[in-house]
Structure 1
Amino acid sequence: MTTTAPQLRKPGGKKRGGVLGNTGLYLATGVAAFLFLVPFYLLVRNALSTDAEITGEHWKFFPTHLQWGNVSDLFDDTSVDFARSMWNSLVVAVSMTVGILLICSLAGYALARIPYKHSNKIFYFVLGTLMVPTAVTFVPSFVLVSSLGWVDTYRGLIIPGLFSGFTCFLFRQYFLGFPKELEEAARVDGLGYWGAYWKVVVPNSLNFFAAIATITFISGWNAFLWPLVIGQDPGAWTVQVALSSYMTNQTVVFHQIFMATAISILPLIFVFLFLQRWLVQGIAQTGIKG
């Protein structure tokens, strides 16, 4: 009987493979980060430049003299109240985020946990709303809001968007996988559905709530078409509508467009960085193990 000697691995072969793999990973990450940061560089560079430097033939990595006066020019412009538009967008985005989190999470929890013979029919009806194009409901929604006298008001900007069928679907699917043992322990302590939802489910679902809040806030802040139609008065403009006013058929104010854009994304960056902590630490804070 013959035996074959075991094949010996080259010393350090595994280590070299690991180093090469990590190098490739770091390289790919670096390239992706570079491509991601280039638009932000162009935004900041053009926001602190003059119109001549933005449209000039000779490119400079950064302007010779930073035009910090572009900030005051933006907020001193009497044709567009940019500070007011920022405030309007903040009110709309925060109100929509809070409203959708409350309404859709309650609806999703009810569909997932409260026994009711027509719950599946209601759920299918909610899913059916996702198949209706926005263009079909846009005009009827505007007619309804206009008949209620909500044009140029926060009510007209916020209330029609306080329910999302897709968000309700996401909450229902999430609550279906939520551990029932925690809710049963809450009921032993005398809590009903509302008490279990508020004192057990919500504190143990902060990571999911944070993810939905981030998406909802960004969507509300970036909304354009509905605020454009409802906010007909300049005092009711949101930041996206205000940004569009700097570009007309007659004039294009480049430095104001870039400066306004740079300032308008600051709340989004702040919200993402703030909620990122909850997204990362949410699992550890839930108390739900494996």
Structure 2
Amino acid sequence: MTSSTAARAGKKIRLRGTVVGSAATYLVLCLLAVVFLTPFYTLLRNAFMTTPEVTSPHWHWLPGSLGLDNFTALFDNPERPFGRSLANSLIIAVITAPLSTLFASMAGYALARIAVPGRAVVLSLIVGTLMIPQAVTFLPTFVVVGSMGGVNTLWGLIAPGLFNAFAVVLFRSFYLSFPAEIEEAGRLDGLSHLGVYTRIILPNSITMIASLGALSFIDAWNSFLWPLMIGQDPNTWTVQIALSSFLTSQTVNLPELFAGTAVAILPLVIMFLIAQRYIVQGIAMSGLKS
């Protein structure tokens, strides 16, 4: 066998191995996609089914009809103001996400760059709050917010979520890795700490702000225990509380529950599709530097 023939044979073997490897990779990815998409398929299927179809012992791949009865009943029930609950959740998430991210960014920059007495103590206290279960703080927070008249109000639902200790730690880690020379150049131009932050630091933190803002939006949208405590009037329910009302000790309305869940996850799906790249990049850029 000549050297050219051996080279061609080796090239064919490598090409065949590449094709087989690519096919195996795509097969595995397709199987994983089916596994991850199955819950969404089941959710959408049940959202269009009737109660006998959902509870039937026999599996049905598709609903008997694609009518919108479950969705119309979802918004027509006066005892469960689902539309109002969606609006409340949207207002809370839209306000909480940017404000909590901005406050965390400011706090993270101050802890990373501004040398003030007690900075290490403040950081230790912030990190210490991450070790306290959130459920433990609900009662004292409820007492404080309730004494200020925040029960059954949107500001009472929003205010406790404006501080995010986890985001503060991530922003601090990110700003510690930021080139100090750029900040020094800004101070030589006469900028104060606030000027450096607004003109230099903030524009270069868009990826982190977008990623943590998206995570904050998702967290605010999915919040359940705090809205359950503070929002006792149905007009202040969030979408998660409205969904829980379909499962009680007396009644179980599965079709409307699935329909409501399908509507409730739509903003989260849109948010994730828009911000998934920023979420990955932001977490990768934050690091764990102390």
Counterpart of 1:36? 36
Structure 2 unaligned runs (5+)? 1-5, 283-290
Pairing of 1:197-208 with structure 2 (within 5 A): 197-208=197-208
Matches within 5 A, 1:100-249: 100-249=100-249
Give secondary structure in 2 for the equivalent of 1:185.
helix
- Cα distance in 2 for partners of 1:183, 1:15 equals 52
What are the equivalent positions in structure 2 for 1:9-88 lying under 5 Å apart?
Answer: 10-88=10-88
Kindly indicate which of the two structures has a greater share of residues assigned to helix: 2
Question: How far is 1:79 from its partner?
Answer: 1.0
Shift of 1:220: 0.6
| Percentage identity across paired residues of the two chains | 47
120-129 or 235-244: bigger deviation: 120-129
Query: SS in structure 2 opposite 1:248?
Result: coil
Q: Deviations over 1:259-284 (max 9, x none)?
A: 000000111111122224655898xx
The alpha-carbon deviation at position 190 of structure 1 amounts to 2.8
Equivalence for 2:266: 266
For residues 37 and 53 of structure 2, the distance between their equivalents in structure 1, rounded to whole angstroms, comes to 21
The alpha carbon displacement at 1:227 in A equals 0.4
Between 1:176-185 and 1:236-245, the stretch displaced more is: 176-185
Once residues 104 and 134 of structure 1 are traced to their aligned partners in structure 2, the CA distance between those partners, rounded to angstroms, is: 18
**Counterparts of 1:103 and 1:242, CA distance in 2:** 30
Does the 8 A contact of 1:151 with 1:231 survive in 2?
yes
Q: Aligned partners of 2:123, 2:179: CA distance in 1, in Å? A: 21
Measure the CA separation in 1 of the matches of 2:191 and 2:25: 50
Structure 1 residues 281 and 216, CA gap change in structure 2 (3 angstroms): closer
TM normalised by structure 2 equals 0.89
Q: Secondary structure at the match of 1:12?
A: helix
In structure 2, the residue matched to 1:3 is none
Q: Counterpart of 1:78 in structure 2: which amino acid? A: P
Alpha-carbon separation, structure 1, partners of 2:155 and 2:180: 38
Kindly tell me the number of residue pairs found equivalent between the two proteins. 276
1:70 Cα offset (Å): 1.8
For residue 232 of structure 1, give the secondary structure of its aligned residue in structure 2.
Answer: coil
**Which amino acid in the other structure matches residue 188 of structure 1?**
L
How many angstroms apart in 2 are the aligned matches of 1:138 and 1:254?
30
- Alpha-carbon distance in structure 2 between the residues aligned to 1:161 and 1:100: 7
Aligned to 1:285: none
Instruction: Check whether the contact 1:50–1:67 (CA below 8 A) recurs between aligned residues.
Output: no
Q: Check the 8 A contact 1:104/1:164 in 2, yes or no.
A: yes
Please report the TM-score for the alignment, with normalisation by the length of structure 1.
0.89
Structure 2: how far apart are the matches of 1:279 and 1:118? Answer: 32
CA RMSD of aligned residues (A): 2.0
Does 147-156 or 60-69 show the bigger shift?
Answer: 60-69
For the 8 Å contact 1:48–1:67, the answer to whether it is kept is: yes
* Paired letter, 2:18: G
* Alpha-carbon spacing, 1:124–1:279, altered in 2? closer, same or farther (3 Å): closer
My pick for the range that moved more, 219-228 or 118-127, is: 118-127
Query: Separation in 1 of the partners of 2:245 and 2:192?
Result: 52
Structure 1 position 113, deviation (Å): 0.9
Partner-residue secondary structure (3-state), 1:11: helix
After TM superposition, give the deviation of residue 123 of structure 1 in Å: 1.0
* 2:10 partner SS: coil
Q: What code does the residue aligned with 1:174 have?
A: F
Deviating runs (4+, > 3 A) in structure 1? 276-282
Contact 1:246–1:257 (Cα < 8 Å) also in 2: yes
